[in-house]
């Protein structure tokens, strides 16, 4: 059955998957959502015998229904290849009774690679299918990981350009070095004087600027997005939860149909929303455990039913989660309104204006699959140390937030359902925070000394992504104010 995509903010005619991928954001500012969530059409036992690539096809074919089998399999083949340092693509590591789903084995050592390695191929295929002649300009805001993963995916891809805005003082040194050393004539990286929410809001404003869109069209350009607001990012993320379950089943760690809980460190809400979609496709998932850092806007929302971004923005050691406007939450809100676009638009307008909205008791019923909690900076560091001392497993700061929240969930509920924890970045991406958590003596070392020390400690090779930037020259040194973002785009495109 064909899946079409509709906007969360209007009752405009739905579009096909390839159109939704190309547009990124609906013209009314809404996000594209499937008109129904398709059910898995292979049994769990059948999926258990498949590779990552085969499972990716079985999941994505159900959502991207206007792609041919050959088109989709080619995109998957080109995405999940030797860019990943393991044939498993997303291995599971058991540590202290939980299963850590390592989503960081791609070329930029963060979970964003799982979707951003395939998005350029989906986008170019979509452009061909829709007879697009314009050059596609990928415009994206990043809190640290999306930027580099998108740059790596689109650099050198014919018919595209990519512009990445990031908060100048809001990412780790390794994250920044990865971005500013990016080669490729079609790439631009800009540090803004503001936080991630400022960058994201600025990008959304540029997207909805009709005059700019017309000017670009006249010059042969059109925007699309690589942020998790693009449905072409969300669909590939559903695959790894299905793969995790299939893998545990194939290894005899689960019986067919046995439930798992899923724990996700959450900022923009896309990663946990993908798990929610997997559950609604028929994957046996019990609780969706949403883990926040000190920017605990989501924890407060799940606890009270009020989403309030009017609070201090905290810079933490898990910067990819330093977010107060969780864009993908809108897709869930739309669903729990009963897919009422007018009601959803009212709530999003309130968020944009007053910075706060409250959902009804009836809507809160729709959140019963979720459990929210948060970990402070001290708890995040303590959890890294605890797990390392207990079994030698070293995780990054974001994964530690999830792990710490899982411990709170266990203590509170005594729910011993097997848990898969989304491990969203390599510890090598946040070496200083990770090593300081294990022992403060490491703080005296330089960034790359710490890399080598961590490699010895964790008994893991230094990833290529880190080796490559040790001596790489800075290519991008542009900075701008938030209100200069549009002009920066115009300048890069020669408008």
Residues designated as active site: 112
Helix (H) or strand (E) holding 288: strand 285-292
Within 8 A by CB and 6+ apart from 235, the residues are: 59, 60, 63, 64
Yes or no: say if 230 and 162 are a contact pair by the CB < 8 Å rule.
no
Residue whose token pair is 């083949």: 77
357-374 exposure pattern, b = at least 16 Cβ within 10 A, e = fewer: bebeeebeebbeebbbbb
Measured CA to CA, the distance from residue 394 to residue 385 in angstroms comes to 8
CA 205 to chain centre: 21
Helix (H) or strand (E) holding 363: helix 361-365
Measured CA to CA, the distance from residue 428 to residue 418 in angstroms comes to 27
Q: What is the DSSP string of 155-214?
A: TT-TTEEEEEEEETTSS-HHHHHHHHT---TTEEEEEESS-HHHHHHHHHHHHT-HHHHH
3-state secondary structure of 93: strand
Count of all residues that appear for the chain in the document: 495
Within 8 A by CB and 6+ apart from 449, the residues are: none
Short-list 272, 259, 265, CA closest to 295: 265
Measured CA to CA, the distance from residue 30 to residue 326 in angstroms comes to 14
Structure tokens at 428: 């090598």
Yes or no: say if 329 and 307 are a contact pair by the CB < 8 Å rule.
yes
Residue whose token pair is 């050592």: 109
């Amino acid at each position: 059955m064909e899946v079409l995509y509709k906007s969360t903010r209007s009752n405009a005619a739905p579009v096909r998957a390839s159109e939704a991928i190309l547009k990124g954001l609906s013209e009314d500012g809404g996000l594209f959502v499937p008109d129904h969530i398709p059910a898995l059409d292979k049994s769990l036992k059948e999926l258990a015998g498949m590779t990552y690539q085969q499972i990716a096809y079985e999941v994505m074919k159900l959502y991207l229904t206007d792609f041919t089998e050959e088109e989709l399999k080619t995109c998957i083949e080109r995405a999940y290849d030797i860019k990943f340092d393991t044939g498993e693509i997303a291995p599971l590591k058991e540590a202290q009774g939980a299963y850590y789903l390592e989503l960081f084995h791609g070329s930029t050592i963060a979970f964003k690679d799982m979707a951003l390695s395939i998005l350029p191929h989906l986008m170019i295929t979509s452009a061909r299918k829709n007879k697009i002649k314009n050059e596609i300009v990928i415009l994206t805001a990043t809190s640290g990981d999306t930027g580099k993963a998108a740059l790596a995916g689109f650099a050198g891809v014919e018919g595209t350009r990519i512009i990445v805005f990031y908060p100048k003082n809001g990412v780790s040194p390794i994250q920044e070095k990865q971005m500013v050393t990016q080669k490729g004539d079609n790439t631009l990286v800009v540090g803004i004087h503001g936080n991630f929410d400022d960058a994201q809001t600025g990008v959304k404003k540029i997207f909805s600027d009709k005059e700019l869109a017309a000017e670009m069209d006249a010059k042969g350009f059109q925007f699309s997005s690589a942020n998790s607001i693009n449905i072409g990012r969300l669909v590939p993320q559903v695959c790894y939860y299905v793969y995790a379950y299939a893998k545990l089943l194939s290894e005899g760690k689960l019986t067919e149909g046995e439930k798992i809980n899923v724990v996700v460190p959450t900022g923009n809400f896309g990663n946990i929303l993908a798990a929610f979609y997997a559950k609604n496709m028929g994957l046996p998932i019990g609780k969706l455990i949403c883990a926040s850092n000190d920017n605990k806007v989501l924890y407060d929302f799940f606890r009270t039913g009020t989403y309030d971004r009017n609070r201090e923005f905290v810079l933490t050691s898990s910067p990819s989660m330093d977010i107060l406007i969780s864009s993908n939450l809108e897709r869930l809100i739309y669903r729990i309104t009963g897919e009422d676009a007018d009601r959803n638009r009212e709530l999003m307008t309130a968020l944009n204006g007053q910075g706060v909205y409250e959902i009804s008791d009836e809507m809160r019923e729709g959140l019963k699959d979720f459990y929210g909690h948060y970990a402070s900076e001290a708890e995040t560091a303590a959890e890294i140390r605890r797990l390392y001392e207990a079994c030698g497993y070293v995780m990054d700061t974001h994964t530690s937030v999830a792990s710490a929240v899982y411990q709170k969930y266990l203590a509170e509920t005594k729910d011993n359902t097997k848990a898969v924890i989304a491990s969203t970045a390599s510890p090598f991406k946040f070496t200083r925070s990770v090593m300081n958590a294990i022992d403060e003596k490491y703080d005296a070392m330089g960034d790359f000394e710490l890399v080598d020390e961590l490699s010895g400690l964790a008994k893991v090779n230094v990833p290529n992504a880190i080796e490559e930037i040790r001596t790489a020259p800075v290519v991008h040194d542009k900075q701008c104010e938030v209100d200069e973002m549009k002009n920066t785009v115009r300048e890069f495109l020669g408008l």
